[in-house]
Amino acid sequence: MKKLIYAVFFISAIAAIVTACRKPYLPAAISSPGSYLVVEGVINSGADSTIITLSRTVALSGENTSSPELNAQVAVVGSNNATYPLTDIGNGKYASGPLNLDQTRQYRLTIKTASGDQYASDFEAVKNTPPIDSVGYTIQNNGVNIYANTHDPNNATHYYRYDYDEAWQFHARYASTYITNGTAIVLRTQAQLRYQCFGSDASSTIVLASSAKLKEDVIYQALITQIPSTSEKIETKYSILVKQYALTAEAYNFWQNLKKNTEQLGSIFDAQPSNINGNIHCINNPALPVLGYISVSNVQMKRIFIINQVLPSWAPVYPYKCEEDTALYCHYFICQNDVALFLIPVGSPEIPTSAIGALGFFGSSNECIDCTIRGNQTQPPFWK
């Protein structure tokens, strides 16, 4: 027994020594105080708005996940010195109405920050984006793949980038037709129903396509996004607006490198990190890094809808753990009035869903009966 005690003591002592010798590894990239300008957006040469987003890089070890660049002066400048100022619309976003630019000119973006630093992108020629031929989807065992098709009859584009906006109709886990008024449980009015809602999201990945190695400038079934079979996005009705941009070869290489550095790292088989060289520079301090690439092109868009009835009988996974419990006027064993205790008080975590005859009610948590926690009940203007 003593030998066992000594052995345990010895192992514990060694473990304590090893633990004490450990030093946290904090790479410079994690704790770097550098705050560099990030420029996102496209100079829209056509009949649509130009929206540029300015922000600052944040330390990986910090609590902030975003840092918008506020109160900057932003403008589009042509090679003929024509200037088109952008309006500060808040939260680091700067916008203008349709520019309808002269396609024989080149254009760049100029930025003056509130601190006085001046930035400018390289002059870029206007790229004409061919129309999207179609947006469709294929049904896979694990979900739905959204794709786009396009072609350029002039054989002049070859490089494409896509982003998209999603919208979908979904519902709460349980439908609640009752509500408390503080003294009793009453039927909900139409305005108080919280079962059906709409959700929305924008693309957060880099989607590229190229026909540079093909004889013809044709993009066939470029994968835009994948929707898992368990997603609430496709439980009722789903819509996606796909946006297509023409790129230069240099812009395509920038986005491809950015994709490798941000989305394709993590294993020994992935691409190694590399420098990401954009076309934006700090005029008063050329050594200061800037992240971004400003292209000049029009945007082509196409929207589709997918209704649940055309899909397999998939079961969406609800984001909360939900169950219905019973609340009775007279509990089976002690005749306690659970309705008065758990459902009637204002602010109670249990919400009545449906009646159990004259015995009481079913109830569940607010997350499981109120869809507005994750969406809103205003139908999008494009919904049909």
Per-residue pLDDT tens over the stretch 169-181: 999 999 999 999 9
- In this structure, is residue 368 part of a structural domain? no
201 domain residue, yes or no: yes
- Does a structural domain hold residue 33? yes
Among 258, 282, 310, the domain-final residue is: 310
Give the CATH number of the domain where residue 113 resides. 2.60.40
Do residue 251 and residue 266 come from a single domain? Answer: yes
Residues 182 and 114 reside in one and the same domain: no
Domain identity same for 161 and 59: no
Q: How confident is the model at residue 34 (pLDDT cuts 50, 70, 90)?
A: low
On whether both 119 and 142 belong to a single domain, the answer is: no
Distance, in Å, from the CA atom of 183 to the CA atom of 176, rounded to the nearest integer, reads: 18
Place of tokens 């569940």: 364
Domain for residue 281, yes or no? yes
Over residues 233-243, mean pLDDT? 97
* pLDDT higher than threshold 80 for residue 252: yes
- Tell me the C-alpha to C-alpha distance, in Å, between residue 106 and each of 59, 126, 179: 36, 6, 62
Residues 146, 111: one domain? Answer: no
Domain that holds residue 145: 127-310
Q: How far apart are CA 242 and CA 304, in angstroms?
A: 9
Residue 308 scores a pLDDT above 50: yes
Percent of the chain with pLDDT over 90: 81
Per-residue pLDDT tens for 285-295?
999 999 999 99
pLDDT of residue 64: 66
For residue 158, tell me if it sits in a domain: yes
Give the separation between CA 136 and CA 81, rounded to whole angstroms: 42
301-339 in b/e form (b: 16+ CB < 10 A) is: ebeeebeeeebeebebebeeeeebeebeeeeeeeeeebb
Question: Among 9-18, 84-93, 250-259, 283-292, which stretch is predicted with the lowest mean pLDDT?
Answer: 9-18
Q: Would you place residue 11 in the very low, low, confident or very high pLDDT band (cuts 50, 70, 90)? A: very low
**Predicted pLDDT at 5:** 32
Mean pLDDT along residues 272-293: 86
Query: What DSSP character marks residue 341?
Result: I
H/E run at residue 8? helix 2-21
Domain endpoint, select from 84, 100, 124: 124
Is residue 170 assigned to a domain?
yes
Residue with tokens 């209704």: 307
Judgement on whether residues 166 and 238 belong to the same structural domain of the protein: yes
Counting the structural domains of the chain, the total is 2
Q: Is residue 335 part of a domain?
A: no
- The reply to whether 379 falls in a domain is no
In the structure encoding, which two tokens stand for residue 149, read together? Answer: 């098709």
b/e per residue, 180-202, with b = 16+ CB within 10 A? beeeebeeeeeeebbbebbbeee
Confidence band for 19, pLDDT divided at 50, 70 and 90:
very low
Same domain, 161 and 272: yes
> Which of 106, 124, 142 is the C-terminal boundary of a domain?
124
Q: How far apart are CA 97 and CA 89, in angstroms?
A: 12
Separation between Cα atoms, residue 38 and residue 282, nearest integer Å: 12
What is the amino acid identity at position 5?
A: I
Q: What is the mean pLDDT of residues 319-332?
A: 92
Is there a single domain that holds both residue 192 and residue 207?
Answer: yes
Helices and strands: H and E segment counts in the chain: 5, 25
Do 299 and 194 share a structural domain? yes
Residue 32 has pLDDT above 80, yes or no: no
Instruction: Tell me the CA end-to-end span of the chain in Å, nearest whole number.
Output: 78
Are 163 and 301 within one domain? yes
Residue 140, phi-psi category: left (phi > 0), alpha (psi -120 to 50), beta (remainder): beta
Classified as helix, coil or strand, 157 is coil
pLDDT band of residue 6 (cuts 50, 70, 90) is: very low
Cβ atoms 256, 205 nearer than 8 A: no
Is the domain of 170 the same as that of 96?
no
Summary mean pLDDT of the chain: 89
Q: What band does 58 get if pLDDT is binned at 50, 70 and 90?
A: confident
137 and 267 assigned to the same domain: yes
Q: Where are the alpha helices (DSSP H) in 229-371?
A: 249-263, 338, 366-369
User: Which pLDDT tens digit goes with each residue over 127-170?
Assistant: 999 999 999 999 998 999 999 999 999 999 999 999 999 999 99
Backbone angles phi, psi at 270, to 5 degrees: -80, 165
